[in-house]
Structure 1
Amino acid sequence: MAMIGYARVSTLEQNEALQVDALIAAGCDPARIYVDHITGSSTKRPALDRAWEYLRPREGDTLVVWRLDRLGRSLAHLVQLVSQLAADEIEFRSLSESIDTASPTGRLTFHLFAAFAEFERDLIRERTAAGVAAARARGRQGGRPRALSDAQIEQAHRMMREDNLSATDVAGVLRVSRATLYRAIQGGT
């Protein structure tokens, strides 16, 4: 049974000493405290990967952080990480928020965080759908703008029909690729 510490500082000016001292005071072995010097939005966290490799599933190991925001990039990411720990039967502790998944109260607190994260995702999804519906009701379409206007498509038809220009020549005149020209002529763009 080991307590593995993880700390993260975002900038070179920040110092991990506060976090490391708190992790040691909580019982982490100083040799098993992994520190990333990286922004929270970064998906690559080499020290966290090393800590994860050291954690032994089903042997009572605990991952300890000073604060929740040091571990997860977002609430959803935090829930994902702690859920993976739970699946591997590895406990989790956050010192500042007094969350310890080894206790029923800690598990409840974390599940509340997970419920809030799911609620937040649902709200974002609903707001996005409402925004798209409102834009469509006002006649706006999402996505990339058309490469050729209706007038340019008609001009392309005329040049190919009346002037006997090749698709390559017409595409060059309209400054689009041949594929774009063909899609537009067939009604796709």
Structure 2
Amino acid sequence: MPAVGYARVSTDDQAGSLPAQVSRLQAAGCSHVITDIETGRSTDRDGLLELMAMVRAGQVTELLVTRVDRLGRDAAYTDALLAQCEAHSVSVRALDGGTIETATPQGFLMARLQTGLAEMESRMLSLRLRRQFSVYRAEGRHLRRRKPFGYQGGPDHRLQPHPDHWPQALRVIEELRIQGSFSGVARWMTQWCEWTPSACNLQNWFCNPVIRGHIGHHRDRNTGKGWN
């Protein structure tokens, strides 16, 4: 496989920009493009793990990305990926940045600068968001765009009952009290409700503190997922 592309966006909200990355990589000569929708700080992305397995198996001769930060925003981890590519004679090229190599002292320095800048940008964004979230939390305001079923966005980032979904949500909660089964209620919802979640998603929704009137600013301690 001569050239493989890798495209990544951080969240579902950014997924609309993923096809643009894929199109650019294909136009640059990639016969196969692997994608991820995951933060660049994560080191266990499914697509990236698949890509590196192909690199180690000798199935890739050239790796293309639109920018080096698509590989990741953890400098140490991205440096290790580049070193693996170098060890398996895989050239790495960023469409917005040129060839990335670590074999020469100059190439190593440039690669380290690029990965370090990508991580710094990520850390600065995280810091700005944490500060903003602290203000929102103190004011009792909703943080994320995605609202739990039954709610809609109101003035000043506050949640309020959705005129159509709120009665449906109350009906679902009452049925859960009667049946005591997430799978049973999920099947029942397909007969009438606009929202038809799986049993697992229904359970996550039911356990969401926002449903009980709280603002879910922090993450689930068990799964690490955002409540909202």
Computing the radius of gyration from Cα coordinates, the structure with the larger value is 1
Pair 1:83–1:21, CA change in 2 (3 A):
same
Match for 2:33: what amino acid? I
Match for 2:27: what amino acid? A
Match for 2:94: what amino acid? S
Please report how far the alpha carbon of residue 7 of structure 1 lies from its aligned counterpart in structure 2 after TM superposition.
0.7
Match of 2:5 in 1: 5
Structure 1 stretches of 4+ with a deviation exceeding 6 A read: 117-120
- Secondary structure of 1:53's counterpart equals helix
State the distance in 1 between where 2:29 and 2:22 align. 11
- Secondary structure of 1:44's counterpart equals coil
Match of 2:66 in 1: 66
Is the contact between residue 93 and residue 100 of structure 1 (CA under 8 Å) also seen in structure 2? yes
After superposition, the CA RMSD in angstroms is: 3.1
State the distance in 1 between where 2:44 and 2:99 align. 25
Match of 1:51 in 2: 51
Please report how far the alpha carbon of residue 101 of structure 1 lies from its aligned counterpart in structure 2 after TM superposition.
4.1
Is the contact between residue 3 and residue 64 of structure 1 (CA under 8 Å) also seen in structure 2? yes
In the alignment, structure 1 residue 81 sits paired with structure 2 residue 78: no
Q: Deviations over 1:116-145 (max 9, x none)?
A: 48999xxxxxxxxxxxxxxxxxxxxxxxxx
State the distance in 2 between where 1:18 and 1:49 align. 22
- Secondary structure of 2:92's counterpart equals strand
Pair 1:90–1:11, CA change in 2 (3 A):
same
Q: Deviations over 1:81-110 (max 9, x none)?
A: 1111101111111111112549x9xx6663
- Secondary structure of 2:96's counterpart equals coil
- Map 1:1-189 to 2 at 5 A: 1-14=1-14, 15=16, 16-29=18-31, 32-55=32-55, 61-101=61-101, 110-114=107-111, 116=113
Normalised to the residue count of structure 1, the TM-score between the two structures is 0.52
Quick one: percent identity of the two aligned structures?
35
Counting matched residue pairs gives: 115
- Secondary structure of 2:36's counterpart equals strand
Please report how far the alpha carbon of residue 20 of structure 1 lies from its aligned counterpart in structure 2 after TM superposition.
0.5
State the distance in 2 between where 1:71 and 1:19 align. 13
Structure 1, unaligned stretches of length 5 or more? Answer: 121-189
Pair 1:54–1:117, CA change in 2 (3 A):
closer
State the distance in 2 between where 1:118 and 1:96 align. 14
State the distance in 2 between where 1:70 and 1:60 align. 18
- Secondary structure of 2:76's counterpart equals helix
State the distance in 1 between where 2:12 and 2:60 align. 34
Please report how far the alpha carbon of residue 112 of structure 1 lies from its aligned counterpart in structure 2 after TM superposition.
1.9
State the distance in 1 between where 2:43 and 2:63 align. 19
Please report how far the alpha carbon of residue 45 of structure 1 lies from its aligned counterpart in structure 2 after TM superposition.
0.8
Please report how far the alpha carbon of residue 73 of structure 1 lies from its aligned counterpart in structure 2 after TM superposition.
2.3
